[in-house]
Amino acid sequence: MKNFFNGSATAMITPFAQEGVNFQSFARMIEYQIAGGTDALVVLGTTGEPATMTEDEKVAVMKFAAEHTRGRAKLIFGTGSNNTAKAVEATRRAEELGADGILAVTPYYNKCTQKGIVEYYRAICSATSLPVIAYNVPGRTGVNILPATAEELSYIENMAGIKEACGNMEQICETMRRIRPRMDLYSGDDNLNIPILAIGGAGVISVASNIAPKQIKDIVSAVKRGNLERANRIHEKLLPFIDACFAEVNPIPVKAGCNMIGLDAGVPRAPLTELEEGHKELMKACIKAAGIRKVKL
């Protein structure tokens, strides 16, 4: 299926306090995204650190997101797992709690075959009436959705797209060629937002937009209008900042950056650690150079 969403989505961080999730900060982050024009919020994706959260915390975050967003942006809940039965259960729960769509990362660590990938997504799609987006990020999972596999997935009725973060534009172009008539493709790598949009990507699912939602939305809008000059101008100004967002493993840098602009993100949960001092200085300088201002909500 096509056209579940077009535009910019933010892979939301989960702000933590000592006693658990900081819902006051999460509310401010949602408002900041909506004010910046973000079209969809991805909650409990990799950037949200669900691997370190209890099931009760995940349920509370999904409920809060649905109640606070109130339809002002589409809500996409992350439900992927290396256990297909667990992913199916999480998907059903996400639909019950108000998701508009599902983002499911490929099974990680198990290193299943391409056939296993297809069966995994078939099971998830069979468990819900919601649109499902596959997330291909082999650098984290050890599994790569090959173009022929993406094509097979595109024939599943409620398979709505693939978030591509494989980093290989040749592969991404071939995937786009194979799925274009039936399923959308989204950039999952902020450095490749423009080339992926330029080959027909429906939108982006961005980490950097936690801090720069308006700029990321402006890039998407400019490409959609055919104004590549404006898109490149914005993108090039942001590039050092985007690089800083990945100076250490995501979401370590982006959480530190959120703290710097006045969004109380807290710190990542162990085994992730706080951003190193040298990278903090880099992030501060890049935020300033990109013209990103303190949040006033």
Q: Which residues are catalytic?
A: 135, 163
Q: How far apart are the C-alpha atoms of 135 and 104, rounded to whole Å?
A: 6
Structure tokens at 138: 């082999």
**b/e burial code for range 199-238 (CB count within 10 A of at least 16 → b):** eebbbbbbbbbbbbbbbbbbbbbbbeeeeeeebeebbeeb
Q: How far apart are the C-alpha atoms of 224 and 164, rounded to whole Å?
A: 19
Residue 24: how many other CB atoms lie within 10 Å:
11
Q: How far apart are the C-alpha atoms of 78 and 58, rounded to whole Å?
A: 10
Q: How far apart are the C-alpha atoms of 127 and 270, rounded to whole Å?
A: 32
CA distances from 109 to 58, 203, 240 (A): 22, 28, 32
